[in-house]
Amino acid sequence: MIGLIVALSVGLSADQQAASRLQRQEAGRGEVVLDCLLQTDGRFAGCRIVSETPLRAGFGAAALEQARQMRATPAQMSDAAASHERRTRLSFTFVTADHTTP
């Protein structure tokens, strides 16, 4: 299995912010692990949430959206071809704007 760690400080959409703003503010940080299929063009498809902390705070949906926009690097594609493994895990760390350090 290919491992890919993604550390992001991502701005969440207005809908996601409105849905659970208080919980995210209290948490300040969210962590999500996705299991995805790595396609031959480098895109990630069929992603599902393996874990999300805190639950139902909108971080899982944000990670799924980010995965749809990402592409694997040529090195990651080469590793996948060598191992014949097309499933991979993506790890995301989100930090809300209210909890970033200056």
Q: State pLDDT tens for residues 55-100.
A: 888 889 999 999 999 999 888 888 877 777 788 899 999 887 665 5
pLDDT band at 7 (very low <50, low <70, confident <90, very high): very low
User: What does the pLDDT look like over 10-33, one tens digit per residue?
Assistant: 455 555 555 555 554 555 788 999
pTM recorded for the entire structure: 0.68
- Please report the sign of the dihedral spanned by the C-alpha atoms of residue 6, residue 9, residue 10, residue 16: positive
Q: Which residues contact 33 (CB under 8 A, 6 or more apart)?
A: 49, 50, 51, 52, 89, 90, 91, 92
